[in-house]
Amino acid sequence: MTIDAFQARRFFGKNRTAKTPNIDSLLEKGTYFTQAFSNADGTILSLNSMFNSLFPFATGVRQKKIYLENTNLFQHLKNFGYNIYGTIPKATNLSPLHNFFKNKDVTFDALSPMAYVTTSLGERIIDMVKKHHMETPWFYYVHIFDMAAEVLLQKFKMGGDSAKSEKKSTMAIETHTIYNKEVKYEEEVNINVLHLDYDKKRIHYKLSMNHKEKKFQAATTEVLSLYVDLDLRKVTEFDIEKIKIMDNYIQAHNSKFSSDKLFFTDKLKK
């Protein structure tokens, strides 16, 4: 199971911020690694590396789409007689996985309102396992999302609530993440907004993760997202209310912003 954007500090340790009885049960019965490193700076690049058992520098694959070598994980399992099933986001960059899954109902909506396990998606996954819809021996790959990204979007009324009521939300199209210094297990961090800007259809922001006690900057991530009409599944323009909210936020925090080392500024069309 892949849980996109899920951080260890949210579900493990004395300072965790979520109640996770099922994950607790898995930890008691299985193995938990307290120190792990990402093999790439993005979801798809990391999955490509894991599925092919090769680092990106070894494969030369840097595109943000699943690329499967002939010796990939799923093919190995299939060769050993496993029946492969999957529940993954509805996204073009994950579509190469569909060829390996035996179930027809493979995808869920990856745009807001994004499906979470707290909705019918959770029941659907449990139903697959409990009601024996899979032939043994089976391998079931599940790719779901944590809700961390909602915090910032909710400030601008572009998160899950807006998606449900207005049928509009954002979709990240480019990210640039830099890891500056390691944060150890159970150390607390603060997330700060370093930059915010927008044009008619795009929102551009940069966040930093800073060590709460020692004050050093551990990492930054810069994001460029499109504003999307979910009914039409097309990019659309921000309405006046959203523009006012963003303008007010920029005005209130502009003195703390920094335009240093931004990669996507020239992609805004003002």
Q: In what order do the strands lie in the sheet with 138-145?
A: 2-4, 138-145, 83-89, 107-108
DSSP codes of every residue in 153-173: HHHTT-SHHHHHHHSEEEEEE
pTM across the whole model = 0.59
227 in Cβ contact with 168 (< 8 Å): yes
220 in Cβ contact with 178 (< 8 Å): yes
The pLDDT tens digits of the residues spanning 36-79 come to 777 776 788 888 888 998 887 776 666 667 888 888 999 999 99
User: Whole-angstrom Cα distance, residue 213 to residue 185?
Assistant: 14
Q: What would the CATH number be for the domain defined by 150-264?
A: 3.10.129.10
Domain boundary assignment for the chain? 2-145, 150-264
Amino acid sitting at position 44:
I
The pLDDT tens digits of the residues spanning 170-207 come to 888 888 878 788 877 667 888 889 999 999 999 999 99
Residue 107: both structure tokens together: 């995808």
